[in-house]
Amino acid sequence: MPSGLKLFYIAVLIFLNIIWGGTYVASKIAMAEFMPITLAFVRFAAASLIMLPFLVTKYRHIRMDKKDFLTCSTLGAIGFTLAYIFQNIGVKLTKTMNAAIEISSEPVMMIILAALFLKEKITGKIIGGIALSTIGVLILILPPETASAAAGTEGFSVLGDVLVLLSALCCALYTIIGNEAIKRLPSFVVTSYAVITGTIFLFPFAAFYEKGLPAIATASMKSWLCVFYLAAVATSFAYFIWYLLLERLDASFMGNFLNLQPLVGIFLGVALLNEPAGSGTFIGAAFIIGGVYITSLNSNKIEEKAVIDPA
């Protein structure tokens, strides 16, 4: 590959992960007016409308059977309904920088699930990486500032951290289940149908549980700009570019750039929301990112699957 072209791809990958790193701050801002599940529904409903034209043009030749539709529906329920119910409620309760860092533990969870369900081999180095990430999570969610605030101070809740980790677990499960589907179908097609079905499953929770749909008519321009960012930029545009690059680059090369997201999350949380970043934040982030890097470096086969759900 020419060096100039490689530098271009690197710049694009950095740009994409900066976009995804900003989703936690955008969600936090939008949830001042949108309820968490309602925000997820509006985000993915808008993203579905943007993705549909690509499905009926670029991918119109793709044929899906009943098994494919069932798989995509399952992926939608896990990766976009449950995952974003947990993630948005978690982000509302905790710091955005915590959420960005905790989500980065997804590849580690995925490797554990792959060992349990796909009988993938876990080496000593992978176990070491998992241990590092686990220590990092504990450092992140159990510093004094968080533990003392867990009783009810909005913005610093252990419950919020746990919900974000459950979201990461859902995303890891999404990747494991989607492994067979992407052998038969393009990744963008699988993701698009999962987004659409996940949106359908989100609707009753937003409409009847939260009763949050009236906010669609009353939300401010600032909140709608955040929704636009989440739906059009971070979901539709960024995912589409990601999958175009996936056709040209190695998955392991692309996956290394995902570790930029928590760093962006920390920076934006401090810069835009004035969130405090103590020593526990940076130490925990270092342990998690280091653990993810070690596990990814020593599990190329599994890493191929990790890039299906980059954000």
Chain segment 129-174, per-residue pLDDT in tens: 888 888 887 777 665 554 444 444 444 578 899 999 999 999 889 8
CB of 196 closer than 8 Å to CB of 76: yes
- Give residue 36's Cα distance to chain centre: 15
Rounded CA-CA distance 121/299 in Å is: 9
Rounded CA-CA distance 81/94 in Å is: 20
CA angle 297, 300, 306 (to 5 degrees): 95
Whole-number average pLDDT of the chain: 85
Q: Supply φ then ψ for residue 119, to 5 degrees.
A: 60, 35
* Per-residue confidence (pLDDT) for residue 143, from 0 to 100: 57
Residue 182 binned pLDDT confidence (cut-offs 50, 70, 90):
confident
Residue 3 binned pLDDT confidence (cut-offs 50, 70, 90):
confident
User: Around Cβ 220, how many Cβ atoms within 10 Å?
Assistant: 11
Widest distance between CA atoms in the chain: 56
pLDDT in tens, 249-300: 776 677 777 778 888 888 898 899 888 877 777 888 888 888 877 876 665 5
Angle, nearest 10°, between helix axes 96-103 and 124-141? Answer: 170
- Is 306 a residue whose pLDDT tops 70? no
CA angle 212, 214, 218 (to 5 degrees): 120
* End-to-end alpha carbon distance in the chain: 27
Structural domain boundaries in the chain:
3-306
